[in-house]
Amino acid sequence: MSKEIPLKGCPKLMYNGPCGGGSGNICEVTRGKCVWVEEYLRNPENPLFHNIVLDKGFKITDYIPKEREPTSSFMMKLKNGVKTLSYEYVAERNVSSEKIRDELLRLKQVYDAVNFIDSPLGAVHIDPMALAILSKNLGVEPVVQVSCKDKSRVQLEAIVLSLMLHDIQNMLAITGDWPHLIGDKSNRPVFDLDAIRLVYLVRLMSDLGLDYRKRRILNARIIHVGVASNPYFNPLELEVLRLQKKVYAGAEFVETQPVFDKEVVLDYVKRLEERNIHVPLIFSLIALPSYKYAKALEEFARVKVSIEYLDMLKSKGNEANLEFIPRLAEELLSLDSVSGIHILTLGDNNMGLELGKRIRSLL
Is the distance from CB of 51 to CB of 2 less than 8 angstroms?
Answer: yes
Task: Please state, in angstroms and rounded to a whole number, the distance separating the CA atoms of residues 230 and 14.
Answer: 16
Flag whether 151 is in a domain: yes
- pLDDT given at position 181: 63
Q: Is residue 107 part of a domain?
A: yes
What is d(CA 99, CA 302) in angstroms, rounded to the nearest whole number? Answer: 35
Q: Is 78 left (phi over 0), alpha (psi -120 to 50) or beta?
A: alpha
Whether residue 113 is contained in a domain is answered as: yes
What is the reported pLDDT for 4? Answer: 60
274 CB neighbour count, 10 Å cutoff: 10
Domain total in the chain: 1
Tens-level pLDDT at each residue, the chain (363 residues):
766 666 888 989 899 999 887 678 889 888 889 999 999 999 999 999 999 999 999 999 999 999 999 999 999 999 999 999 999 999 877 778 999 999 999 999 999 999 999 988 778 889 999 999 999 999 999 999 999 999 999 999 999 999 999 999 999 999 998 877 666 777 788 999 999 999 999 999 999 999 999 999 999 999 999 999 999 999 999 999 999 999 999 999 999 999 999 999 999 999 999 999 999 999 999 999 999 999 988 887 778 899 999 999 999 999 999 999 999 999 999 999 999 999 999 999 999 999 999 999 988
Q: Is the dihedral of CA 17, 20, 26, 30 positive or negative?
A: negative
> What was the pLDDT predicted at 81?
96
Which residue spans within 11-141 are E strands per DSSP?
84-89, 113-116
Which H or E run contains 222? none
Pairwise CA distance, residues 168 & 163, whole Å: 5
Q: Residue ranges of the alpha helices (H) in 67-223?
A: 73-79, 97-108, 128-137, 153-165, 195-203
Do the domain assignments include residue 289? yes
Q: Is residue 7 situated within a structural domain?
A: no
State the CATH number of the domain containing residue 308: 3.20.20.220
Question: What range defines the domain where residue 163 resides?
Answer: 23-360
2 is a domain residue: no
For the whole model, what pTM was predicted? 0.95
Residue 6 forms part of a structural domain: no
Domain annotation covers residue 15: no
